[in-house]
Amino acid sequence: MLETLRKRVRNEQSAPDHPAMRAPENPWAKAFRRMLKNRGAALGLYVILFFALIGALADIVAPYDPIKPNFTALRQPPSAQHLFGTDKQGRDILSRIIHGARISMAVGFLSQGLTIFIGTVVGAIAGYYGGKVDTILMRITDSLYAFPTMLLLIIFMAAFGRGFINLLIAMSIAAWVGPARLVRSQVLQLKSQAFVEASHALGAPARHIILRHMLPNLIGSLMIFLSFGVPAAIMAEAGLSFLGIGLVPPTPSWGVMLNDGFAVLRALPHVVFFPSLVIIITMLAFMYLGDGLRDAFDPRSS
Amino acid sequence: MSTNSNRISRRRLLKAAMFTGATAGLAACGGGARPAAPAGEAPPPTEAPPAAEAPQEAPAAEAPARAERVLYLNMPSFYGDPGAGTDPGCSGGANTVFTNQLMFSALVYLNEKMEPTPDCAESWTPNEDSSVWTFKLRKDLKWSDGTPITAKDFEWTVKRNVSPDISCGGGILYMMDIIKGAADYAGKVTTDPDTIGVKALDDYTLQFELTGPAGFFPIMVSYPTYSPLPKDRIEQYGKDTQWTQPQYVLSNGPFKMTEWKRDEYMTLLPNEHWHGYTEQAPGLDKLTVRMLKNQATAIAAYETGELDVIEVPTGDLPRVKSDPVLSQQLITYAELFTQYMLIPVSAKPFDDVRVRQALAIAIDRDAIADVLAGTVTPAYQFLPPTMLGYDKDLNPEMAYNPDKARQLLADAGFPNGEGFPKFWINSNHTDDYQTMFEAISAMYKDVLGIEMELALMDPGARGAWREQEPRRLHLWRERWGMDFPDSHNSMNFMVTGRLKGDYSKIPEWGGYKSTDRVAPLVEEAARSADPARRHELYRQADRILTWEDPYLIPIYYYVANLMMKPRVKGVYVTGMGPTYRRVSVES
Amino acid sequence: MWQYIVRRVLQAIFTLFVLSLITFFVAKVTPGSPLGLDDPENAAKITPAMRKQLLEQYDLDKPVPVQYVLWFTKFIRGDLGLSLTYRNEHVQDILARTWPISAQLGLIAALLAISLGTLLGIVAAVYRNTFIDYASMFIAVIGVAVPSFVLAIGLILLFSLTLHWFPVTGWGTPERMVMPILVLMLGPLATTARFTRASMLEVIKQDYVRTARAKGLLERVVILRHVLKNALIPVITVAGPTLAGMLTGSVFVEQIFTIPGVANAFVGAIGGRDYPMIMAQTIIFGGLVIFMNLAVDVAYGIIDPRIRYS
């Protein structure tokens, strides 16, 4: 298993170079290559890819069933059979963490994908059309922006009920304001630039201008947003599930595991220790990756 | 009390509770094993700071002022209806019973053997068929402000408690409808309170006229709704539950409330006007009831000395049992408390008796007890051990039997679970419920090949979930903790609260075919004076409900695991929980 | 500038109005009902007649828009209503006992986080690429990467249950305040430190700093006079929201350490469908954040005269 992972990592490592060599003018690839030169960022990326990979292959990689209780292996400390021990229902912690990687990554990327989608649409419309549309949309974003995100999430989770899809929707509704404001301000900036004005004068439709001229210029900012948004979403899932209002147990999410573990903090410390560790590692990985991305896309640096 | 008895909150409500109510709680600790005054509370004038701050090694005898003896209990929340405050007339909600028993004395109390023992009443006598009961009251009964209490106060209180106008709307009617005329008055059939069968014959004699013979009535009047309540205060401050606030409340029990910080703590002082006070001086100066909802936090607080008594969370029990010090502080006892699942008896495919029986015997109850680490014992019937009608050989067929279960399901037309619709189990979300239903769901899948999905939610959402379209086929988790130790309590609830209650009006849940068999058995048992006969009647009723035509699937009985600091004395536990009337602490 | 402030305040009021609308309708579509009406373990107690009476008493039987108007008219008269969970308590009273606690916790933690974070960032920048820098940034990295609930669990395990230094629960006396403050401040401290360091390094690169150095000024003077002043301006932009965020209480800190503050009350209000409570807190939280943002913008203009209000 490790061998294939290593190979996979090596492939990932070399992959970005090829398109970059073929198309050196592509600013994306350039930024990406620059980022990979940053050791911390590269390591962060590999860690994230590693979690994504084991998450994707969880059914194959995980040694045990993550959900089914095992009455013959209740409450075991870490051992050769169960590297991270078992919980009070006899479930293998390692297997649950592996399946949890899938859920955390899915929550992180899907929710932020949705967030960025909603945010970009709203921000682009507000910025491009301006006027009343802009005012109305921005009042709504201001209202949501003025409210602590965690509390907003709690309201929405109460309204929708717990569950994976509901969590994604709640997170997107609570967070789309960020990218919307970002996109709006950038669109406002771009609108006055010559190439956009020219395109407008030539009678290009709004959709065309937004999609072809403005969006590509927004990618950098959105990538950076993603690198901060995804870990925030993973953390929020863990937090909400820890409070008992995120995902429905026995879903093996890291937050649900923390929740399980906190209840047996003294008796079975390993139940809370390993998911905590994995969450911290993930957060570190995203942080270094995010820093690297920001430096790479920031034209002032290097 | 309804399905939530005072145990509900002590049970692992935590995760759900974190969401159901404002968590709060104050605890205190001097940084070591010794509790200090709760935070935010000004030190009472009686407390001599030098003594409180005195180093442990200083001999207590030499201290000019004795250190204050404070007992720290925990009460996780006002479950169900926090608005009911501490009103004994609304004593349905969980912890109100707990505080009611600290603050109020009823006609009788239950001793170590759960026998009715004189409290406000000195003695009681029935008429020849036990349908009229006469209680002789003590002559030294007083409110906590020193004013006397007479039989008139009891009469007024009973009439007030069954009135439809009190803040919980006659909520504990099922504890009182055995009194003649009570149900009609509560149901507004009549507005004349004098039609209710309670009367003060003189200042110290109280007479109850019941709907029929009831030999268990003296046990029933141990419940807090049979405590006297301060008429003047209620008439003056009765709007909602304002009168239960510390500045207005008067009580007649071992303790009086002097302070109540919502969600934080409640301060109780020994009541010098309590009739038991003169017999024996109290062994403590103050009782602080904290409200820590999270059980993991509560046990940590116990271990750091911030609490004196807690209920041990399931996950910690194995550790506590193997710890040489903590295991000595553990008190384990069986509670009169049954956990079960109600079945939608009229919904396909659950209308088939074989399906219900298959569900009942596909559960490996020993394994569940293992997972819940000794906080429960398997239940194979509704009534708990020691109660009339309990018989360990009542349902021999109900033992875990995968082959038989598969066979029954196949006979009902679902070989290997094929074609069986997916269904849900609706429950509050607590740690232990989650654990239990994950296990049961896995058993159903393994043994029967059917899918049971968990619908765990906060209690306030359960009703809405049930009503939501499209309707979902589901089992309903419920539990019953006894309000007084007589099988009438449980069985009467099952008949009037369930078989003939609200549930009977829901299409999938009503239409239980054996109602007409169960109800007469329960009625006859209530009226009978012969214990052997009553036992047999309850036995039959229970067997119909749990096996012959299953209406519910019993899962387990609760086993309580309290931890109590050695410095706490004078507390006894019964199947009803701990009793603190004569509690004392060493400083 | 006054014109600018007045316009922003008017905008803020409108924003809060929109926020109250959103919250009210989201809260209303949330399944479940207040007063324990939908709680099955409670339902046996409530007769249909009683239910009707309660709904009428609290205006819950009216259409949702009417309920909003009723709430709104009461609100502008300064009446926040009765709590639906604690029926004899006014929302004002509940807020009066929960706010001081959260504000105290938040204020101490925010002040510590901002001051220590700034200090850490400055030190790291001045001694960049030395051991001091790495150590400071290690603390900052941990602060960002460790979720508060994980940190809280760790601290309880170490300081309460193993070392017996601090109690697990509550608020009010110094030893009870240490752990919650630590947990609450570490994240913002880390963010502030990283931000300050980056800002410092940015300024150090600038021409005027090089000029100052070239003039032969002492390094200390260069840092204090030229770098610090300019580097700290952007830090203010993070300090404002940090303060606002911390004043609104931390759900995790208050839940784990059972602190009877606003965040706990808010979670409880949602669980109990306590609409008056939810609404009052929404307005306060929103108002606080908006006010902080405005304060930052104004402060920014005072410190940096290049900024013009428009």
Provide, for chain C, the percentages of residues in helix, strand and coil under a 3-state DSSP scheme, each rounded to the nearest 5. Answer: 75, 0, 25
Phi, psi of B197 (to 5 degrees): -75, 55
- 3-class state of residue B292 by DSSP: strand
Residue pLDDT, tens place only, A33-83 = 877 788 888 999 999 999 999 999 999 999 999 988 887 888 888 999 999
Burial class (CB in 10 A: 0-12, 13-18, 19+), C283: middle
B372, B435 Cβ separation under 8 angstroms:
yes
Of residues B469 and B1, more confidently modeled: B469
Mean pLDDT of chain B: 83
Count helices and strands (H / E) in chain B: 17, 21
**Listed ranges A125-129, B440-444, C216-220; the one with the highest mean pLDDT:** B440-444
Predicted local confidence at residue A89, as pLDDT? 82
Residue A286 lies in a domain: no
- Chain B touched by A210 (CB under 8 Å): no
Alpha carbon separation from B208 to B125, B213, B252 (Å, rounded): 11, 12, 21
**Listed ranges A10-14, B193-197, C75-79; the one with the highest mean pLDDT:** B193-197
Q: Could you tell me what percent of chain A has a pLDDT over 70?
A: 89
Predicted local confidence at residue B281, as pLDDT? 78
The letter for the amino acid at B587 is: S
- Of B74, B179, A13, A257, the closest CA to residue C258 belongs to B74
Q: What is the full DSSP assignment across B315-377?
A: GGHHHHHH-TTGGGGEEEEEEEEEEEEE--TTSTTTTSHHHHHHHHHT--HHHHHHHTTTSEE
pLDDT at A8 over 70: no
Measured in angstroms, the CA of C158 and the nearest CA of chain B are apart by 12
**Listed ranges B152-166, B454-468, C77-91; the one with the highest mean pLDDT:** B152-166
Element at B554 (helix H, strand E): strand B552-564
Provide the token pair at A95: 């297997």
Measured in angstroms, the CA of C179 and the nearest CA of chain B are apart by 13
B163, B482 Cβ separation under 8 angstroms:
no
Residue A15 lies in a domain: no
Domain count, chain C: 1
Q: Which single residue is written with the structure tokens 């229970």? A: B542
Verdict on whether the full-model pTM lies above 0.80: no
Residue C52 lies in a domain: no
Predicted local confidence at residue B92, as pLDDT? 60
Nearest CB to B370; choose among A71, A265, A268:
A71
Predicted local confidence at residue B297, as pLDDT? 84
Element at A171 (helix H, strand E): helix A164-175
Residue pLDDT, tens place only, C144-203 = 889 888 898 889 889 988 888 888 887 878 888 999 999 999 989 998 898 888 888 888
Interface-testing mutation among A136, A141, A155, A277, with chain C (most C C-beta atoms within 10 A): A155
Cβ–Cβ gap A276/C27 under 8 Å: no
Cβ–Cβ gap B299/A69 under 8 Å: no
Q: What is the full DSSP assignment across B508-532?
A: TT---TTHHHHHHHHHHHHH---HH
Q: Which single residue is written with the structure tokens 């030294």? A: B140
- Of B181, B215, B179, the closest CA to residue B524 belongs to B215
Angle at Cα A45 formed by Cα A41 and Cα A51, nearest 5°? 145
Alpha carbon separation from C290 to B387, C14, C100, C283 (Å, rounded): 63, 11, 20, 10
Residue pLDDT, tens place only, B524-582 = 999 999 999 999 999 999 999 999 999 999 999 999 999 999 999 999 999 988 999 99
Predicted local confidence at residue B536, as pLDDT? 96
Cα separation of C117 and B284, whole Å?
Answer: 48
Residue A79 lies in a domain: no
Cβ–Cβ gap C171/B240 under 8 Å: no
- Chain B touched by C86 (CB under 8 Å): yes
Predicted local confidence at residue C238, as pLDDT? 75
Cα separation of C236 and B463, whole Å?
Answer: 49
Residue C116 lies in a domain: yes
How far the first Cα of chain B sits from its last, in Å, is: 35
Q: Could you tell me what percent of chain C has a pLDDT over 70?
A: 90
Q: What is the sign, positive or negative, of the torsion defined by CA atoms of B193, B199, B200, B204?
A: negative
B307, B38 Cβ separation under 8 angstroms:
no
How far the first Cα of chain C sits from its last, in Å, is: 8
Predicted local confidence at residue B239, as pLDDT? 67
Interface-testing mutation among A48, A137, A142, A294, with chain C (most C C-beta atoms within 10 A): A142
Residue A238 lies in a domain: yes
pLDDT band at residue B65 under the 50/70/90 scheme: low
Cα separation of B576 and B574, whole Å?
Answer: 5
pLDDT at A174 over 50: yes
Torsion of CA A74, A77, A83, A88, to 10 degrees: 30
Cα separation of A167 and A251, whole Å?
Answer: 13
Q: Could you tell me what percent of chain C has a pLDDT over 90?
A: 9
| Of B45-49, C127-131, C133-137, minimum mean pLDDT range | B45-49
Residue pLDDT, tens place only, C11-24 = 888 888 888 888 88
Phi, psi of A270 (to 5 degrees): -65, -25
pLDDT band at residue B11 under the 50/70/90 scheme: very low
Predicted local confidence at residue B167, as pLDDT? 61
- 3-class state of residue B143 by DSSP: coil
Q: Which residues of A touch C184 (CB under 8 A)?
A: none
Residue A137 lies in a domain: yes
Task: Identify residues of B whose CB sits under 8 angstroms from chain A CBs.
Answer: 12, 14-16, 18-19, 295-296, 299-300, 303, 313-319, 364, 367, 370-371, 373, 429, 431, 434-435, 438-439, 442, 454, 456-457, 461
Cβ-based neighbours of B398, under 8 Å, separated by 6 or more: B360, B361, B380, B546, B547
Provide the token pair at C146: 């460790």
pLDDT (average), residues A103-130: 91
Question: Which conformational region is residue B389 in: left (phi greater than 0), alpha (psi within -120 to 50 degrees), or beta?
Answer: left
- Of C282, C197, C289, the closest CA to residue C241 belongs to C289
Please name the residue of chain A whose CA is at the shortest distance from the CA of residue C20: A143
Of residues A14 and C138, more confidently modeled: C138
B66, C198 Cβ separation under 8 angstroms:
no
Residue C56 lies in a domain: no
The letter for the amino acid at B336 is: L
Residue pLDDT, tens place only, C232-245 = 877 777 777 777 77
**Which residues span the domain enclosing C285?**
91-303
Cβ–Cβ gap B25/C87 under 8 Å: no
Residue pLDDT, tens place only, C51-91 = 676 777 777 888 888 889 988 998 888 888 888 877 667 88
Predicted local confidence at residue B29, as pLDDT? 32
Alpha carbon separation from A94 to A89, A104, B228, B434 (Å, rounded): 14, 15, 59, 20
Cβ-based neighbours of A224, under 8 Å, separated by 6 or more: A290, A293, A294, A297
Start-end of H helices in B448-514: 459-467, 487-492
Domain count, chain A: 1
Predicted local confidence at residue B168, as pLDDT? 61
Cβ–Cβ gap B456/A259 under 8 Å: no
Residue pLDDT, tens place only, B324-364 = 999 999 999 999 999 999 999 999 899 999 999 999 999 99
Nearest CB to B439; choose among A69, A245, A248:
A69
Q: Indicate the pairing of strand B423-428 with strand B452-457.
A: parallel
Cα separation of C191 and B229, whole Å?
Answer: 58
pLDDT band at residue C37 under the 50/70/90 scheme: low
Q: How many CB atoms lie within 10 A of CB C247?
A: 23
Nearest CB to B2; choose among C44, C164, C270:
C44
The letter for the amino acid at B144 is: S
Please name the residue of chain C whose CA is at the shortest distance from the CA of residue B302: C168
B479, B339 Cβ separation under 8 angstroms:
yes
Cβ-based neighbours of B428, under 8 Å, separated by 6 or more: B13, B16, B456, B457, B458, B459, B462, B477, C41
Q: What is the sign, positive or negative, of the torsion defined by CA atoms of B568, B571, B577, B580?
A: negative
pLDDT at B33 over 70: no
How far the first Cα of chain A sits from its last, in Å, is: 38
- Chain B touched by C196 (CB under 8 Å): no
Predicted local confidence at residue B382, as pLDDT? 97
Residue C298 lies in a domain: yes
| Of B50-59, B145-154, C293-302, minimum mean pLDDT range | B50-59
Predicted local confidence at residue C42, as pLDDT? 53
Neighbours of chain A (3+ CB pairs under 8 A): B, C
Provide the token pair at A197: 């004005």
Predicted local confidence at residue B533, as pLDDT? 96
Return the bridge partners of B478, or none: B340
Measured in angstroms, the CA of A296 and the nearest CA of chain C are apart by 15
Measured in angstroms, the CA of B133 and the nearest CA of chain A are apart by 49
Cα separation of B117 and B111, whole Å?
Answer: 6
Neighbours of chain C (3+ CB pairs under 8 A): A, B
Residue A29 lies in a domain: no
Q: Indicate the pairing of strand B108-110 with strand B572-574.
A: unpaired
pLDDT (average), residues B501-520: 88
Neighbours of chain B (3+ CB pairs under 8 A): A, C
Predicted local confidence at residue A159, as pLDDT? 82
Residue C15 lies in a domain: no
pLDDT at A20 over 80: no
Cβ–Cβ gap B19/A245 under 8 Å: yes
Provide the token pair at C74: 């009461």
pLDDT at B21 over 50: no
| Of B308-317, B515-524, B549-558, minimum mean pLDDT range | B308-317
Q: How many CB atoms lie within 10 A of CB A180?
A: 28
Cβ–Cβ gap C255/A243 under 8 Å: yes
Q: Which residues of B touch A68 (CB under 8 A)?
A: 442
The separation between CA B390 and the C-alpha centre of its own chain, rounded to angstroms, equals 20
Q: Indicate which CATH number applies to the domain containing A249.
A: 1.10.3720.10
Q: Which residues of B touch C264 (CB under 8 A)?
A: 22-24, 263
Provide the token pair at A94: 């390692």
**Which residues span the domain enclosing A119?**
106-274
Q: Which single residue is written with the structure tokens 């996950």? A: B315
B159, B213 Cβ separation under 8 angstroms:
no
Q: Indicate the pairing of strand B309-311 with strand B198-202.
A: unpaired
Cα separation of B205 and C222, whole Å?
Answer: 93
Burial class (CB in 10 A: 0-12, 13-18, 19+), A127: buried
Residue A48 lies in a domain: no
- Chain A touched by C145 (CB under 8 Å): yes
- Chain A touched by C187 (CB under 8 Å): no
Please name the residue of chain B whose CA is at the shortest distance from the CA of residue C84: B83
The reply to whether omega before B349 is within 30° of 0 (cis) is: yes
Phi, psi of B205 (to 5 degrees): -130, 125
Mean pLDDT of chain C: 82
Predicted local confidence at residue A19, as pLDDT? 43
DSSP tag of B312: P
Cα separation of A291 and B436, whole Å?
Answer: 45
Q: Indicate the pairing of strand B376-378 with strand B568-569.
A: unpaired
Q: Which residues of B touch A67 (CB under 8 A)?
A: 438, 442
- Of C307, C150, C278, B386, the closest CA to residue A276 belongs to C150
Angle between the N-to-C axes of helices C174-204 and C148-155, in degrees from 0 to 180, rounded to the nearest 10 = 130
Cα separation of C39 and A14, whole Å?
Answer: 59
pLDDT band at residue C49 under the 50/70/90 scheme: low
Predicted local confidence at residue B366, as pLDDT? 93
Q: Indicate which CATH number applies to the domain containing C237.
A: 1.10.3720.10
Predicted local confidence at residue A1, as pLDDT? 36
pLDDT at C41 over 60: no
Cβ–Cβ gap A266/B19 under 8 Å: no
